Every structure is written in C-alpha cells, then in structure tokens.
Amino acid sequence: MAWNDERVELLKKLWAEGLSASQIASKMGGVTRNAVIGKVHRLGLSGRAAPAKPQRGCDPESRTEEVEDTQTYAMKSVDSLAAEPEFTAPAVLASGDLTTVATLKGNMCKWPIGDPAKDDFHFCGQSAPAGKPYCPYHAHMAFQPAQRRADRPMPPQRLARDAAKRRAAS
Ligand SMILES: [Zn+2]
C-alpha cells in the first residue's frame, strides 16, 4: 500500500508514541514491519531516544490511572473486532424473583450480578446453551481476551459457595 501523507503522519505519530515497528504495522494495516522500519529510516525518524515511558510520576495513584487507560484502550480495540451480542436482561422467575443460588438450575446462565454480600445479589438466569455455564451474552463477556478479565466477576462456583456459607451462618 502506498504511503500517502495521511499514512506518513500516522506513522510519525505512532512512532513518536513509542510503538514498535510491528505494532505500527498491525495498527496501520497494509504494511509489513519491514516496510515500517524502512519508512522510518527514510523519514529520519529512527533516532527515537527510548520507547515512550509514562510521563506521570511514580506514585501508586497515577500508576492505577495508567493501567485503566490501557484497559480502556484494549477494550476499544477488542470491541471493534468482535461485535458484542445484545445485552440480556436477567431472567425473572414465575414467582417474580430474580435467580438466586437457591433457584439457579443447570441450564441457566450462572453469571453473577450485584454484590454477593447484599440481598439483591442474583444470577442472570437466562437459559444457557446445553453444557454451557452462560447465556450467549455473558459467554461473550466471560471469554474476552486477557486484558478484559479484570472486569470479570468472581467465578460463580465461588460466589455460590460464599452465599451458602453466609446463609448457614445467619
Ligand atoms: Zn446471562
């Protein structure tokens, strides 16, 4: 693919941000890592001092912020690759209640919703495909690439066990 002004600007920008040649190549698409390196040399950009380091200080707070930025970025790129199935609202049982540890059955989505320590904690409860723990929406949420796993709740088995323990105690 030809290097038009726009792509050269993008290359310069990504290079200045400290991305590696292969990262730039995959971001831009249509170019190989070698093509990126070659262009960088021709543009005289190769004298980059060091990979861009966070400008922020070293206090733990700003570090957290940085991690979040990375996650947000990761989420965006993941979302652009895979369309998210439509949101599924939690199932409401015939009794009018939401699905709890007591009413959760094998074929229901075990995605935990809310704070397990609170009374309104429940499970998604929508029907899950045979042999699968989650409905299609939550299966999609559960099997995100590693970057998104921080957003995932605790495994349902553990939540159920904790809830059962609490019930036994009260
Ligand atoms: Zn679900």
Residues with CB under 5 A from ligand 1 (ion): 109, 111, 124, 126, 135, 138
Share of the chain above pLDDT 90, in %: 28
Which residues contact residue 47 at a Cβ distance below 8 angstroms, ignoring those fewer than 6 apart? Answer: none
- Return the structure tokens found at 55: 């400008």
* Phi and psi at residue 105, to the nearest 5°: -115, 170
Tell me the HSE value of 106 on the side-chain side, using a 13 A CA sphere. Answer: 2
Query: pLDDT at residue 110 above 90?
Result: yes
Which range is least confidently modeled, 1-10, 95-104, 154-163? 154-163
If you measure from the C-alpha of residue 108 to the centroid of ligand 1, how many angstroms do you get, rounded to a whole number? Answer: 8
Output b/e per residue, 124-144; b: 16+ Cβ within 10 A: bbbebeeeebbbebbbbbbeb
pLDDT at 51: 53
pTM of the predicted model, to two decimals? 0.38
If you measure from the C-alpha of residue 133 to the centroid of ligand 1, how many angstroms do you get, rounded to a whole number? Answer: 9
